[in-house]
Amino acid sequence: MTEKSSQAIKEFLGEAEEILENLSADLMELGETMETGDANPDLLNSIFRGAHSLKGLSGMFGFVDIADLSHQLESVLDGLRLGKVNLDRVLIDTLFEALEILGRLVHGKGESSDYTIDVSPVVKNLEDMLKGKADQGRDDPFADLDIDRSVLDVLTEYEEHRLLENLKKGRSLYRVVASFQLATFDTDLAEVTELLKKDGEVISTLPSSDNCSEDAIAFQILVGSALGFEEIGALVARENLRVEKIGHKGKKPQAAAPAVPASRSTEQPAGKTGDATASMRSISRMVRVDIDKLDVLMNIVGELVIAKGTIGELSERLKHEGHTLGGELVKATRILERRLAELQKGVMEVRMVPISQLFDKMARVVRRMAGEVGKKISLEIRGAETELDKLITEDLSDPLLHIIRNAIDHGIEPPDIRLAAGKPEIGRIGLYAMQKGNHVVIEIHDDGRGIDGEKVRRKAIDRGLIDENAELSQEEIFELIFLPGFSTADKVSELSGRGVGMDVVKNNISALSGMVEISSRLGEGTTMVITLPITLAIIKALIIRVRDKEFAIPITSVMETLMIERPAVRTIEGREVIELRQSTLPLLRLSHLFNYPPVVDEGQNPFFVVVVGMAEKRLGLVVDELLGQQDVVIKPLGNVLSFVRGFAGAAELGNRKTILVLDVGSLMSESIRGEMSLNV
């Protein structure tokens, strides 16, 4: 693949993914109106335009499979718009199936432009939907309507359908005739149209010969509304506008609406100067940016941060050594630091995306999978506007998907069991996001059967993971679920099993420097809480020393630092703890964790404790020295060292020394089980 074609495909992917995301959200909304059958025409048109855009885009790039499926999808959606296809569950399911295949195709093109899958089954399903709705050959449905035949003759098929739909709903039909000045007719017409849409549907807008002057242009607007004649007249009251009610033949039509005060229509709307060039500009102010380009920018900023640290260190040294330029250099460094912080913040903000992009995908998953297992489940989403680093959002997708699948498959009970248990027939899954400081907390609730702690304990004993007499808290029992290969399911489910366990979920979240916690009540439901940093790019870190080696701890996880006298340390069940403000804080000696050889006076002198916390958990890390705070750029350890636990990556300090960055979430989880031992 040439560089040019690769760039072209990247552009295709960016635009296609955006279209699919919008289509997914619109289809979800359409599905919610399925019960009433009262689909919003604007929503239908939006979905239709999305399919049409995808067809054109894929055709332009030569992706025939996507274009063929999009074309058939567009045809069915057009049939839906025209009332030739019924809005029902079968249709919604088929549309979602087509959308999922389109998503797989688009994703596959990102891996290889030759990627394809057989789209013929879903294309055939879509074709069958259209064939099943042959023209019913009905009589003229507007024959009894007292409306000018010249108007009916120019209506499009879609407008005729919308006119018929309004009649079926028992709405009144109105003909609004309005004359506007040539200089402002576009904005004036848009204003009237928006007013009418508030309480009705604008079926068609046609030119009219009812001009009031030579420098004016007239339109007749066909409207369907539940409002009465007087109410519609009051809604759009303005000069040179009248409303006529369209009745049935043989009945006397209502009189025209009285003219309204001229003051309202002659006022020039603020800011609407009639600038013709304004309408030629794009409405959107957004620019789509390749994430790789942002990574390049972030790396440059990271190098500047390191360089700034070096310059700052040299400046301070010069100043203390009495060089005359030392003080000036320190001042210049501080200015550089402020500007660099602004640049860093700006680049970081560009990388942030609302988590709604991820939640919308989960909504589609819940809907589809609930149908597959014959359950009724509603999804409640809150905090979708919460922003997270784009790369974290991407990597969070698989763990979140697995948790949702578990909730659907193992958590929510079938409808008959829920009813027998006195629960609502429809199960509920809550997906909530919120920002807490420099972290984002994502909660996944379900009101299902909950986790049987005793069953988990028995499974762990059977597998030899814990001793039969071991006394574990409820929290420690739930932690067992994250052990490799552990499962409480009596049989492997094709839905949630798939060879992936909760240990993989936890490892994936740990790789993002996050942590996951479980709480559950038998018969009432389960809650999974994922805590993640907002970004992994550039962070402020506390540099500490253990023996002769330095490490970095993300400052976002540091609650406080303490100096502890040895007598303050107690031992509970073989673990060192201290009392900190009426609570017990477990300690973790990093020198023990890293298997450093003991020193003679270890534990006899006062020592430093770095209190780290994530979510509701706290842990005291025992270190030898606190060296200060510094901005660092975290680099991944790479695939070769991917098995190493307890480290989020490596970082380069200004003195060109490379140090390891501690993964606080992983350390806290592993230390609770007391299983961790690292060689550094």
Of 218-227, 257-266, 379-388, 482-491, least confident by mean pLDDT is 257-266
Whole-angstrom CA distances from 321 to 46, 310, 314, 327, 407 are: 69, 17, 10, 11, 64
Q: How far apart are CA 625 and CA 590, in angstroms?
A: 12
Query: Helix/strand/coil (H, E, C) string of 499-554?
Result: CCCHHHHHHHHHHCCCEEEEEEECCCEEEEEEEEECCCCEEEEEEEEECCEEEEEE
Average the pLDDT over each of 74-88, 443-457, 607-621, 641-655 and give the range with the smallest value. Answer: 641-655
**Local structure of 39: helix, strand or coil:** coil
More confident: 88 or 645? 88
CA distance 510 to 644: 11
74 is catalytic: yes
Question: What's the pLDDT at 215?
Answer: 79
pLDDT category at 278 given cuts 50, 70, 90 is: very low
Per annotation, catalytic residue among 406, 410, 652, 670: 406
Contact 536, 391 (CB under 8 A): yes
| pLDDT at residue 279 is higher than 50 | no
According to the model, what pLDDT value does residue 1 have? 44
pLDDT in the model for residue 154: 79
pTM beyond 0.95: no
Helices (H), 169-253: 185-198, 229-235
Please say if the pLDDT value at position 264 is more than 70: no
Binning pLDDT at 50, 70 and 90, where does residue 680 land?
Answer: very low
Known active-site residue 299: no
- Greatest mean pLDDT range, 494-508, 619-633, 644-658: 619-633
Per-residue pLDDT band at 198 (split at 50, 70, 90):
confident
- Lowest mean per-residue pLDDT among 17-26, 394-403, 487-496: 487-496
Is 655 noted as a catalytic residue in this protein? no
Measured CA distances, 170 to 202, 333, 536, 659 (Å): 15, 74, 58, 74
The DSSP letter of residue 111 is H
Reply yes or no on whether the pLDDT at 126 is more than 70: yes
Tell me the residue type at 71.
Answer: H
Catalytic, out of 74, 387, 413, 517: 74
Range among 22-31, 82-91, 406-415 rated most confident:
406-415
For range 528-549, the mean pLDDT: 84
Greatest mean pLDDT among 64-68, 181-185, 605-609, 667-671 lies in 64-68
Q: Which residues make beta-bridge pairs with 105?
A: none
Closest CA to 496 of 481, 477, 511, 509: 481
615/20: higher pLDDT: 20
Measured CA to CA, the distance from residue 201 to residue 126 in angstroms comes to: 29
pLDDT (mean) for 220-225: 88
Q: Is the pLDDT of residue 432 over 90?
A: yes
Which stretch, 131-145, 287-301, 605-619, has highest mean pLDDT?
605-619
Question: In this model, does residue 633 exceed pLDDT 90?
Answer: no
pLDDT over 70 at 249, yes or no = no
Comparing 128-137, 349-358, 630-639, which segment has the lowest mean pLDDT?
Answer: 128-137
Q: Are 444 and 396 in contact (CB under 8 A)?
A: no
Residue type, 102: L
CA distances from 18 to 12, 25, 59, 166, 520 (A): 10, 11, 17, 33, 37
**Stretch 134-160: mean pLDDT, rounded?**
71
Report the pLDDT averaged over residues 582-595.
Answer: 86
In whole angstroms, what is the distance from residue 666 CA to residue 649 CA?
12
User: Which of the residue ranges 167-176, 305-314, 466-475, 639-648 would you say has the lowest mean pLDDT?
Assistant: 639-648
Per-residue pLDDT, averaged over 514-535, amounts to 88
Q: Which of 15, 22, 45, 52 is catalytic?
A: 52
The mean pLDDT of the chain is: 80
Question: What is the percent of the chain with per-residue pLDDT over 90, rounded to a whole number?
Answer: 11
Characterize the bridge pairing of strands 241-246 and 172-181. Answer: antiparallel
202, burial (CB in 10 Å: exposed 0-12, middle 13-18, buried 19+): buried
Can you tell me the distance from the alpha carbon of 366 to that of 373, in angstroms, rounded to the nearest whole number?
11
Question: pLDDT category, 413, cuts 50, 70, 90?
Answer: very high
- Cβ density class 457-489: b for 16+ within 10 Å, e for less: bebbeeeeebeeeeeeeeeebbbbbbbeebbee
